[in-house]
Amino acid sequence: MTDTNQSKTDFAGTYFERDAVLRLASLSRILSWVVLSIYILTTLLSLFQFLPQFFSGAFYDKGMSFVNVLNLFTPYLVQPLPGIFCFIVLQMASSALLIFLDMEDNTRRAARK
């Protein structure tokens, strides 16, 4: 066994490719915006389809209270929530991948010194 005084800079012990992780993080960010926009678009289309029916009296019941009217709008307020949740999770995954890459890079720099 021979000992060398040189420090190696090309460590081959990684289980990932840096470029692949960056592409995955970028894809996650793009996909999060696509999912959010689809959910918001479908919510707006459903709401704009419902509003003319509501104002024309298609959903009116005799003796209907204000709370009953609010209950008619509840599904349209809840509909974009899964899209918002998916958006947040995909954005967090993308940020976590970038943080892990930074941690790995900082660990390598510290090991070289």
Mean pLDDT for 18-41 is: 94
97 touches 21 (CB < 8 A): yes
Residue 7 lies in a domain: no
Residue 4 lies in a domain: no
The better pLDDT of the pair 31, 70 is held by 31
How many CB atoms sit inside 10 A of residue 47's CB? 15
Residue 48 lies in a domain: yes
Query: pLDDT tens across 80-94, in order?
Result: 999 999 999 999 999
Q: Exposed, middle or buried by CB within 10 Å (0-12, 13-18, 19+), for 17? A: exposed
Alpha-carbon dihedral angle through residues 19, 22, 26, 29, given to the nearest 10 degrees: 160
The count of structural domains within the chain is 1
Quick check: 61 pLDDT over 60?
Answer: yes
Q: What's the rounded Cα separation, in Å, for the pair 11 and 90?
A: 30
Q: How many helices (H) and strands (E) does the chain have?
A: 3, 0
Residue 1 lies in a domain: no
Task: Tell me how long the chain is.
Answer: 113
Averaged pLDDT of the chain? 84
Residue 38 lies in a domain: yes
In the prediction, which pLDDT does 16 show? 72
Domain that holds residue 30: 18-112
pTM surpassing 0.85? no
